[in-house]
Each structure stands twice: as C-alpha cells, then as structure tokens.
C-alpha cells in the first residue's frame, strides 16, 4: 500500500511539472537514471550533490544541496537517498520528500538554474533500530529527461559511523 501512495505522490509531482502520463515515447523519462545512460533527448545538465551525513543512535541526519553546472537549466529533478538499514515505520519528512521503500527516500530538488543551486534538503531519518554504522547512497532518481554525462559528482556512497560526527560528500 505504501508503494502505491509514494508512487502517487511522485506521479502527481511529475504531472504538475507537465511531464504527462508516461507512454512509449516517454518511458525513458520515467526510468531511474543509470551511470553512462542517455536518458532522453532533453537538455544537457550536470547535476551534483554536496552535503554531509551524521548518525547518532538510531537517528540519521542528511543535509545536502543539489547544484547544476549546466549547460542548461532544469525545472526540477528528484534525488534518491538509499540506506543500508531499514527506516522506522513513521517518518517526519521534509516538504517535497516521500518515502520510496523500506530503505529509500526521494526528494525533489526544485528548479536547478544554470550554474546554480536547488533547494537545500534536510532529513532527520529514524532508523528501525540502532546500528553501529550505515551506508548512505545519494544519486539522481529522475532528471526530467536531461542528459548528464558526469555521474562522478551526483552518485555518492558515504559510510556514517554511530559517533554523531558529520561525514561530508
């Protein structure tokens, strides 16, 4: 039931952006981005994420800022945060974010201007149980059909230890 609700939130967001209902011609726009793949015939952009993560007890904090180095602006994109540990059943998520599974959260970036930043994203995620460490993966889940030839700056893997220290990416 939750996957249907999350999918409805994501679909509603995409429809609001004018993406339309996916059909054969739009299927590549709706597919998650994979390194080295040309997603669509849309603009070319270089989306990147910079931020930090901290684990303290069963709470994981994630702060990040999406950026776009161009050569074109994007009206919106969706980033994905995946964890190596299960999330607690109840989460207080930031506006524009939705749970996408037992270990995943997706968040919209807002407009990404050419050589500019999107909205700052701050997440305070509760884990199902306390763990000594958690692997956090941040990547682009949807980018509006843009081509991004440089995945080195938008695919991150960070190991956060249960020390309360912030680990930057």
List, for residues 73-86, the tens digit of each pLDDT value.
Answer: 999 999 999 999 99
Distance between CA atoms of 76 and 15, rounded to whole angstroms? 12
Number of Cα atoms under 13 Å in the Cβ half of residue 46: 10
Among residues 66, 73, 46, 166, which one has the least CA distance to residue 120?
Answer: 66
Per-residue pLDDT tens for 86-117?
999 999 999 999 999 999 999 999 999 999 99
pLDDT at position 42 is 78
**Rounded to whole angstroms, how far apart are CA atoms 127 and 2?**
17
Nearest to 96 by CA among 83, 82, 110: 110
The larger pLDDT score, comparing residue 6 to residue 146, is at 146
Residue 102 region by backbone torsions, left for phi larger than 0, else alpha for psi between -120 and 50, else beta: alpha
Q: What is the pTM of this model?
A: 0.76
98 with 6: CB under 8 angstroms? yes
Backbone angles phi, psi at 30, to 5 degrees: -90, -10
Topology annotation, domain 46-168: Immunoglobulin-like (2.60.40)
Helix (H) or strand (E) holding 141: strand 133-142
DSSP string of 35-96, one letter each residue: TT----SS-B--EEEEEEEEEETTEEEEEEEEEE--SS-BS--EEEEEESSPBPS---PPTT
pLDDT tens for each residue of 5-48: 443 344 444 334 444 333 333 333 333 444 444 445 678 999 99
Q: What is the pLDDT of residue 16?
A: 41
**Overall size of the chain counted in residues:** 169
Q: Among all chains, which residue has been given the structure tokens 């695919």?
A: 155
Cα 109 from Cα 103, distance rounded (Å): 20
């Amino acid at each position: 039931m939750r996957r249907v609700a999350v999918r409805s939130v994501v679909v509603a967001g995409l429809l609001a952006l004018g993406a339309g209902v996916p059909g054969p011609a739009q299927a590549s726009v709706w597919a998650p981005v994979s390194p080295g793949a040309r997603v669509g015939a849309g603009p070319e952009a270089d989306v990147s994420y910079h931020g930090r993560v901290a684990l303290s007890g069963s709470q994981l904090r994630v702060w990040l800022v999406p950026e776009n180095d161009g050569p074109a602006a994007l009206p919106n994109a969706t980033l994905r945060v995946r964890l190596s540990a299960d999330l607690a059943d109840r989460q207080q998520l930031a506006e524009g974010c939705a749970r996408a599974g037992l270990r995943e959260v997706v968040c919209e970036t807002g407009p990404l201007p050419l050589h500019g930043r999107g909205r700052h994203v701050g997440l305070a995620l509760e884990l199902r149980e306390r763990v000594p460490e958690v692997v956090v993966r941040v990547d682009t889940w949807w980018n509006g059909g843009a081509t991004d030839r440089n995945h080195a700056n938008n695919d991150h893997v960070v190991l956060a230890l249960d020390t309360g220290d912030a680990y930057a990416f």
